[in-house]
């Protein structure tokens, strides 16, 4: 793999206004009955605005912990992580929640759609959380569903859709409030190859159209082509950042 050796060299000052995500020396440990287990051992990572970055690496290497810290759903032990110049850990919980609500979209491995809500209701949630009036939210949700090709299924329940369709609903939910950053955790792992590629095409197209920065955690080498850059993790560290072609054959 051709490694971009300077990937972690930028300073926080350089990154503000330029980079979507800037992490320096991030550490995180989990407490277990047998003691503290380090998950991140000093991660440095830059993600440029509008970039599509894949995080790859073996299970347990810290990928999910890293995106949890970036998305602000976990707090770091030490280091720094700026999202569009804002350090979420320095905000009071209410401000961090607002920031997440306004700037970050999520796509989960298991879709995490609420099964008792219709497709449209699921997609409306990020807008309703921003106190967008219901009729307007419904209109925007319909647009997002049209964008992922599921406009005709808006009144269905998630259980009435296939896995690929459910993941596209999740994508619609992630983009409906026009976030600046989308965090995707294994978005294709529950899908067959063709459907997985379709979902990635959709994600890339939407990200490009809307200028959204995309961080994708994946094991799926078949979708590496969709990445602008790929960061390889191992044992709680970024061990290399390179292009998709250089990353083919990596231990994902």
Partner 1 sequence: MLTIAWKMLAGDRAKYFAIILSLCFTTLLITQQGATLVAIFRSTTIFVDQINGIDMWVTDPKSEYVDDIKAMDDIVVARVRSVPGVSWAVPLYKGSIRARLPDGRAESVQLIGLDDSTLIGAPGTITAGSLPDLLVADSVFVDADSAHGRLAYPDGSGGRRDLRVGDTLELNDHHAVVMGLFRGEKTFASTPVLYTTYDRAKAFVPSERKLLSYVLVKLKPDADIAEVKSVISQNLRLLARTKTEFSAESLRWYIVNTSVILNMGLSAVLAFAIGGGIAGMTFYNFMLDNQRHFAVLRAMGASPGLLVRMVMLQGLGVTLIGYGLGIGGVAAFTLLNTSSDITLRLTYPLVGAVAAIIVLVGTTAGSLGLRQVLRLDPGVVFK
- Tell me the closest approach of the beta carbon of residue 245 to partner 1, in angstroms: 28
- Tell me the closest approach of the beta carbon of residue 9 to partner 1, in angstroms: 28
Sort strands 78-83 and 104-107 into parallel, antiparallel or unpaired.
unpaired
- Tell me the closest approach of the beta carbon of residue 101 to partner 1, in angstroms: 2
**Residue with smaller CB distance to partner 1, 75 or 193:** 75
**Residue with smaller CB distance to partner 1, 46 or 121:** 121
Question: Contact 126/170 with Cβ under 8 angstroms?
Answer: no
**Residue with smaller CB distance to partner 1, 80 or 112:** 112
Residues that bind partner 1 (CB under 8 A): 64-65, 67-68, 71, 73-74, 93-94, 97-98, 100-102, 104, 106, 108-109, 112, 114-118, 121, 124-126, 128-130, 134, 157, 185
- Tell me the closest approach of the beta carbon of residue 3 to partner 1, in angstroms: 26
**Residue with smaller CB distance to partner 1, 97 or 195:** 97
> Measured between alpha carbons, how far is residue 72 from residues 57, 103, 135 in Å?
21, 11, 30
Sort strands 19-32 and 104-107 into parallel, antiparallel or unpaired.
unpaired
Question: Contact 40/65 with Cβ under 8 angstroms?
Answer: yes
- Tell me the closest approach of the beta carbon of residue 11 to partner 1, in angstroms: 28
Three-class SS state of 237: strand
**Residue with smaller CB distance to partner 1, 78 or 245:** 78
Question: Contact 63/46 with Cβ under 8 angstroms?
Answer: no
Within its chain, how far is the Cα of 79 from the centroid? 20
Residue 168: CB partners within 8 Å, gap ≥ 6? 148, 149, 150, 199, 202
The DSSP letter of residue 131 is T
């Amino acid at each position: 793999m051709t490694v971009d050796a300077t990937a972690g060299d930028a300073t926080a000052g350089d990154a503000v206004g330029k980079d979507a995500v800037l992490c320096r020396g991030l550490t995180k440990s989990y407490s277990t009955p047998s003691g503290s287990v380090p998950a991140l051992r000093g991660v440095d990572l830059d993600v440029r605005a509008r970039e599509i970055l894949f995080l790859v690496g073996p299970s347990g290497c810290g990928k999910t912990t890293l995106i949890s810290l970036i998305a602000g759903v976990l707090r770091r032990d030490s280091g720094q992580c700026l999202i569009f110049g804002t350090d979420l850990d320095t905000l009071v919980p209410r401000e961090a929640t607002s920031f997440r609500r306004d700037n970050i979209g999520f796509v989960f491995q298991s879709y995490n759609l609420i099964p008792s809500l219709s497709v449209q209701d699921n997609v409306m949630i990020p807008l309703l959380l921003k106190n967008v009036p219901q009729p307007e939210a419904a209109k925007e949700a319909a647009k997002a569903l049209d964008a992922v090709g599921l406009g005709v299924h808006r009144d269905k329940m998630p259980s009435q859709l296939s896995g690929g369709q459910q993941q596209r609903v999740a994508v619609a939910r992630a983009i409906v409030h026009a976030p600046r950053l989308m965090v995707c955790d294994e978005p294709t792992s529950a899908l067959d190859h063709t459907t997985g590629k379709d979902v990635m095409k959709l994600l890339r197209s939407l990200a490009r159209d809307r200028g959204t920065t995309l961080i994708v955690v994946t094991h799926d080498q078949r979708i590496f082509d969709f990445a602008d850059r790929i960061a390889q993790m191992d044992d709680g560290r970024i061990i290399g950042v390179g292009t998709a072609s250089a990353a083919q054959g990596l231990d994902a």
